[in-house]
Amino acid sequence: MKSGEETVPLWRQLNATAAVVMAVREGVSGTAAIESIPSELRAGVQALAFHVWRNLGRAQALRTKLASKLPPPPADALLCVALALAWQGTDAPYDMFTLVNQTVEAAKRGVSTKAQANFLNACLRRFLRERDALVASTDDDPVALWNHPLWWIKRLQNDHPQDWRVILQAANSHAPMTLRINIRKTKLADYLSLLAGSGIAARATIGGALVLERPVSVQKLPGFVVGSVSVQDAAAQMAAPLLLDGLAQLGNLRILDACAAPGGKTGHLLELTDSPVVALEIDAHRTKRIHENLARLGLAASVLTGDAARPQGWWDGQLFDAILLDAPCTASGIVRRHPDVRWLRRESDIAQLAELQKKMLNSLWRLLRPGGRMVYCTCSLFLAEGSGQVQTFLTHNTDAILLPSVGHLIPQNGALCEGVPDNHPCDYDGFYYALLQKRMV
């Protein structure tokens, strides 16, 4: 980004990025905020916003050194955007003098920042003069060091005293593009050959997932349009096999995928079994994504719109043999893919989401036949949404048995994994999995 002509003036991208950062601070998801940006700016703003969110803790710490009091939200967002992009010096995505000049230009052209243009100019010119000393003065601030809110850092330290540093480091890395092979249409070795023939480097990782050396457009993936392959993280690919292991040979099963949108796990279930699958999603708009994904795969499910916590609104009274509950959560395990999440969430969200997870678990458990199995999973690393949730459930449901499973998956960025072909490195998001079985009467 340091060289080449910009198709859109940088000051416009900075203003739009600041608007996205401010929206997340106000409780709007980063995805929704970016989607509201004009199309000609969207790709550039997403790249800038992701960089900012991965460096926002340091930027906020530097802002406190440069400003005696908090500036108005629009000006503060623009200042933090500039500092997040500039603080690493030679590793900054733009030349620092260009970035400062364009930030000031952005302030002058912004209706809500015009009055603070001189203030921003003074802060950033001082930062250019004193960068090394200012950065050093924030090195002992854990929020600046780890680029996460302090409550988040403390929660991970308490929940994962041995692994919290690894988790935070992984959260600030770039997530790879990971593929799931549709075994109905191709084999792992065959698809690796197809990728190689297309000039796309890839390696096998845990569970037979494929990690690309570099992300590519899905249109460039051989067989994507006809459903030979899907994009899905390696950790998320564990859900369907875990649920079906030991059940698939029993013949026709009645399977429920609760909270199913956008349909990745529904598709994986249908790739692995001929049994019918009910895909449940509370958001009618998001059910469209399920239909679209299944159509590409050439598969079909019974897609219902309904609340997993209130089965009376959609359940037909027939018990399920297998239930997959990928419950709503803080998404603390997939921060490398959604770096806004750490700044979007509040500590109080954990208890609220844990209560929702509890309601879903208890409601869906009643729909499971004796001897049936349920996979409860979340893309969270917080114990309250994982092992803590399940232990509480087991205490109050004596007909539930916890079968061996993976538990909390700590995010991995290139660590060697046992059982992976050719001892390839693992690379997956943070997840929690529990496999539950209902006792026979």
* 225-239 residue pLDDT tens: 999 999 999 999 999
Asked which of 147, 164, 187 is the last residue of a domain, the reply is 147
For residue 243 the two structure tokens come to 């649920």
Give the residue with greater pLDDT, 426 vs 215. Answer: 215
Number of domains comprising the chain: 2
Q: How far is CA 368 from CA 169, 313, 356, 439, in A?
A: 39, 17, 19, 10
Residue 421 has pLDDT above 60, yes or no: no
Asked which of 118, 147, 176 is the last residue of a domain, the reply is 147
Minimum mean pLDDT among 67-76, 143-152, 353-362, 421-430: which range? 421-430
- Among 124, 238, 140, which Cα is nearest to 180's? 238
Question: 257-270 pLDDT, tens per residue?
Answer: 999 999 999 999 99
Question: 362-406 pLDDT, tens per residue?
Answer: 999 999 999 999 999 999 999 999 999 999 999 999 999 999 998
* Phi/psi of residue 192, nearest 5 degrees: -60, -40
Residue 188 has pLDDT above 60, yes or no: yes
Q: At 196, is the secondary structure helix, strand, or coil?
A: helix
Residue 279 has pLDDT above 80, yes or no: yes
For residue 429 the two structure tokens come to 């998001």
Identify whether the C-beta of residue 430 lies closer than 8 Å to the C-beta of residue 420: no
For residue 271 the two structure tokens come to 């790739």
Determine, yes or no, domain membership for 216: no
The one-letter amino acid code at 401 reads I
Q: Which residues pair with 427 in a beta bridge?
A: 413
Q: What is the pLDDT of residue 201?
A: 96
Asked which of 81, 112, 147 is the last residue of a domain, the reply is 147
Determine, yes or no, domain membership for 203: no
Rounded to two decimals, the pTM is 0.92
Question: Which residues are identified as catalytic?
Answer: 379
pLDDT class of 351 with cuts at 50, 70, 90: very high
* Residue 422 backbone zone (phi > 0: left; psi -120 to 50: alpha; other: beta): left
CATH number of the CATH domain containing 268? 3.40.50.150
Q: What is the pLDDT of residue 261?
A: 96
Do the bridges between strand 320-326 and strand 255-258 make them parallel or antiparallel, or are there none, so unpaired?
A: parallel
* Cα 41 to Cα 288: distance, rounded to the nearest angstrom: 26
Share of the chain above pLDDT 70, in %: 95
Q: What is the pLDDT of residue 1?
A: 43
Domain containing 19 equals 10-147
Do the bridges between strand 229-231 and strand 178-181 make them parallel or antiparallel, or are there none, so unpaired?
A: antiparallel
Q: What is the pLDDT of residue 38?
A: 94
Q: What is the pLDDT of residue 252?
A: 86
